[in-house]
Structure formats: structure tokens, C-alpha cells
Amino acid sequence: MLEKLPTAVGRALRAARPGMERLAINDAALAEVPETIALTSPAFADGGVLPTRCTADGEGLSPPLDWAGVPDAAAEVVLLIEDADSPTPYPLVHAIVWRLPPGDGSLGEGAMPAERGIGTQPAMGVNSLMRIGYLPPDPPPGHGPHRYAFQVFALRTPLTIDTAAPGRTELIDALNAAAIAKGRLVGTYERP
């Protein structure tokens, strides 16, 4: 989608970025939640480059993820993927996965398809394009490297949201009330 944006526009928007401080994991209400969950991927290291197959320039597959260190008291795990460098006021949401079983777990490569129906597994929320599913990284040409934050949260109670597919605002409100642990993994990608 953004690959057709002229490189000059991407360069002109280089300074327009919400930054890491605007990520959900850094929300002031979640500051006291311990960052004790280890989130990793066999496809990329923390701070490393995302494989092209996991972006809009490749097959658009969601990367494989593993998490460990979820507290025994957790009732549910939630995953949120945000772009800290999108040319938007707030991070661009690439995926919300909720109702994941409590405890250590994983999602295989491609487990978050681009188009998902309500009631399918994994249960997914609304991305920034107002669609249910995984939105592959698609930074504007010339905008520079983007940091994609994969954030996992353990909740003391199951997520209760008044919609079948939550968006970022509903999710953060719920996390503020129920998160007991968190973790993150950052992957980077820059369109050549």
C-alpha cells in the first residue's frame, strides 16, 4: 500500500514519528507493571531486522513468536504489535491478538493472517486500517527505519471488552485495569 508513496514524501515526513514512549507498553498507567515476560522470535533478534517474508514486500506472514515468564496468576495473555515510527500521531497498530491461553506460549509463522473473521482463532482485534488481522510492516519509502514493537501482556482477569474485536483504545483501557506482567520484542524494517 505505502510502497507507491513517492520517496520524496517519505523523506519529507521523516521527523513525523510517535516514538517508543507512545507505545502501549510505556503507557503511564502501565509503568508499575513489571516487564518480566521474555518475548522472542526464531526469525529475528531483539532490535534486529524483520525478515522480508514478514513484511508487505514479501509474503506478509506474521513472524513466529515465543513468550515465557507469564505469572501463574495470569488468566489471559494479549499481544499487541505497534509501529513506533509511523508518520502518525500515535503508533500504528499492526495486530491485536487476545484471548491467548494463560502461561508460556507461542504463535507460529503466519498464525495471524491478514484477514480474520470474528470468532476465529487466534482471536484478533482491529488494526489501524480498521480490519481484523495482521497488517504487515509497510513503511513509506524514504522514511527511514521503523521499529515494530511486539508487546505481550499477562492479565489477572480475562479481557472484558464490549466489542467483538477491540481496537487500541479499548485494549489499553482494559490493560490498565488488569495487566500484571509485560514483555516486548522490537524488530526493525526499512523499505529500500
Helix (H, G, I), strand (E, B) or coil at 168: helix
Q: For residue 146, give the nearest of 17, 58, 39 by alpha carbon.
A: 17
Position 17 in a domain: no
Identify the residue whose cell numbers are 503507557: 27
pLDDT on residue 101: 95
Q: For residue 99, give the nearest of 161, 159, 169 by alpha carbon.
A: 159
pLDDT on residue 166: 85
Instruction: Name the stretches of the chain with pLDDT < 50.
Output: none
| pTM across the whole model | 0.92
3-state helix, strand, coil in the chain (%, to 5): 15, 30, 55
pLDDT on residue 145: 95
pLDDT on residue 161: 77
Q: For residue 183, give the nearest of 21, 12, 6, 46 by alpha carbon.
A: 46
Helix (H, G, I), strand (E, B) or coil at 20: helix
Domain that holds residue 109: 32-189
pLDDT on residue 106: 97
Cis peptide before 122 (omega within 30 of 0): yes
Q: Between the CA atoms of 5, 124, 182 and 66, what dihedral angle is there, to the nearest 10 degrees? A: -90
Position 25 in a domain: no
Position 1 in a domain: no
Position 180 in a domain: yes
Position 156 in a domain: yes
Helix (H, G, I), strand (E, B) or coil at 182: strand
CATH number, domain with residue 72:
3.90.280.10
Position 10 in a domain: no
pLDDT on residue 69: 98
Position 89 in a domain: yes
Measured CA to CA in angstroms, residue 7 lies from 87, 88, 141, 192 at distances of: 14, 17, 5, 10
Position 106 in a domain: yes
Domain count, the chain: 1
Q: Is the dihedral of CA 122, 108, 131, 28 positive or negative?
A: positive
